[in-house]
A and B are shown apart, each in its own frame.
Chain A
Amino acid sequence: GENVEQHPSTLSVQEGDSAVIKCTYSDSASNYFPWYKQELGKRPQLIIDIRSNVGEKKDQRIAVTLNKTAKHFSLHITETQPEDSAVYFCAAKERWEYGNKLVFGAGTILRVKS
């Protein structure tokens, strides 16, 4: 089955700097890669996703890149703000006999210092 690895496990940046979180996946058949943000005590919420037919997607300060050949994708947050502090999870959608299911990375704790 699919295996998703995520790095780093923690990341501290100064406010205004950029943050990059990287994930690799194992199943070349996976073709949907979402990123979720989870604030303390809250539910995970989708912040951006990318399909395998594109290499990059941007939404304001957030961007995601995908390299299908290398089977890795990355989240880029520019001009970080204290409210970006949260746990970020990447995921890959695995095709499975009963449908499709998400496999999550281990998560990255992002701390933005003001």
Chain B
Amino acid sequence: SAVISQKPSRDICQRGTSLTIQCQVDSQVTMMFWYRQQPGQSLTLIATANQGSEATYESGFVIDKFPISRPNLTFSTLTVSNMSPEDSSIYLCSVERGARMNTEAFFGQGTRLTVV
């Protein structure tokens, strides 16, 4: 298994501001994933963060809005920039354990963001 510590667990932010979410894993992993889960919706991948390289963003997500850092193999941050109410969502980090295609994904407890 994997122990993932994500913080903050929740926050209420003013529009136009930015929030940085931190994700700490109990052991080294190659890739860390950031998801968004809008209210009552499924998990949508925002980007994949590899240590030592720029994150890879999914269609509809851009680096200027969601900058990601990956300074080492156990830590990553996701920043939600210039927030608007539409950014209100749960943000989750995730890692995988296993080999190749046969891996299990583990999730952090999520950050519930409300933008007012």
A99-B31 in contact given A89-B43, A104-B43 (Cβ < 8 Å): yes
Whether A100 lies near B100 (C-beta < 8 A) is yes
Whether A89 lies near B31 (C-beta < 8 A) is no
A40 → B minimal CB distance (Å): 11
The stretch of B16-24, B61-69, B77-85, B102-110 in contact with A is: B102-110
Q: Does B51 contact A (CB under 8 A)?
A: no
Contacts of A46 in B (CB 8 A): 104-106
Q: Does B92 contact A (CB under 8 A)?
A: yes
Whether A105 lies near B42 (C-beta < 8 A) is yes
A98-B50, A103-B45 known; 17 other A-B pairs, CB under 8 Å?
A32-B103, A36-B105, A43-B108, A44-B43, A44-B107, A46-B105, A49-B104, A89-B43, A93-B103, A99-B30, A99-B48, A100-B100, A102-B33, A105-B42, A106-B41, A106-B42, A107-B41
